[in-house]
Homo-oligomer: A and B are copies of this chain.
Amino acid sequence: MPSKKPLILVTNDDGIFAKGIKTLVEEMIHLGEVWIVAPDKPQSGMGHAVTIHDPLRLASENFGVPGVKAFSCSGTPVDCVKLAIYRVLKRKPDLLVSGINHGSNSSINVIYSGTMSAAVEGAVEGIPSIGFSLLDNDSDADFTPARKFVRQLAEQALKQDWPLGVCLNVNIPKLKESQIKGVKICRQAQGFWSDAFELRKDPSGKQYYWMTGAFNNPDKGEDTDEWALEHHYVSVVPVSFDMTAHQAIGPLNTWDFNEK
């Protein structure tokens, strides 16, 4: 008799051996049949990159959680999702979860994030997809307080009608579970990075730069993910892969495209 368990695809951008994906898998095994296809090395900041000019490798891994099938992939998080759907899984998954990221993907970080790009790719494929991030960059971060919310959101995702063309960007504050006030549905805060590039010289005297920077959020709206996180809520932003700025179509139609 075929399994009636939901099929859950797990990926991330910190690599298959990160602590965050372990936590995520440990929660997902209570909800369905879990398959992992995740990068073989950290892929933070990879955005929606795909590998076009290089071949991809896929390797079976012993993930150490009974019943879980795991594969590492040499590519980006989006490559992992594509390979999983078109090569590894026998059918389209019922749920895709990505993370738990070590660090925030709130506000504008959604566009740089490999974690979120994997979830966006799931949405493009018509799969209910959630990216989870904990506001703690530490490779040994404590994911315990995130567990309850991760499970709750995944359960709801499997139960409720999923909004078409959407994935969820879930950020969890770095707090004890008892300090977290609950879950808030938000919009993406209009924040941005002021970047800086630190100039150094290598041993042969050649210059190079390290990117650094500071996050700025002039958007004080109380309906934003930044507001929710600052006020001890888990933020949930529905994210669309339709990037059309519909409100700009009218104004652009007044431009003159027929002059010489």
Complex CA gap A48/B168 in Å reads: 19
Decide: A156 and B255 in contact? CB cutoff 8 A: yes
Interface string of A225-242 (1 = CB under 8 A from B): 000000000001111111
Which single member of B83, B112, B188, B196 contacts A86 (CB below 8 Å)?
B196
Binds B, one of A22-30, A139-147, A179-187: A179-187
Residue in chain B with minimal CB distance to A41: B53
Decide: A240 and B237 in contact? CB cutoff 8 A: no
Decide: B50 and A208 in contact? CB cutoff 8 A: no
A111 close to chain B: CB less than 8 A: yes
Binds B, one of A2-10, A92-100, A159-167: A159-167
Decide: A188 and B49 in contact? CB cutoff 8 A: no
Interface of A is mostly: mixed
A1 close to chain B: CB less than 8 A: no
Decide: A197 and B53 in contact? CB cutoff 8 A: no
Which residues from chain B contact A249 at a C-beta distance below 8 Å?
185-187, 238
A255 to chain B, nearest CB (A): 5
Which single member of B53, B82, B252 contacts A238 (CB below 8 Å)?
B252
Decide: A44 and B52 in contact? CB cutoff 8 A: yes
Decide: B245 and A163 in contact? CB cutoff 8 A: yes
Decide: B209 and A165 in contact? CB cutoff 8 A: no
A192 close to chain B: CB less than 8 A: yes
Decide: B238 and A240 in contact? CB cutoff 8 A: no
Given contacts A110-B243, A238-B249, A245-B165, contact A45 B52 (CB under 8 A): yes
A-B contact pairs, 27 of them (CB 8 A): A42-B53, A47-B49, A47-B78, A48-B48, A48-B117, A50-B211, A52-B211, A56-B210, A58-B207, A58-B209, A78-B112, A83-B197, A85-B195, A86-B195, A87-B209, A111-B117, A124-B192, A125-B192, A163-B251, A182-B258, A187-B244, A187-B249, A236-B252, A238-B246, A238-B248, A238-B252, A240-B245
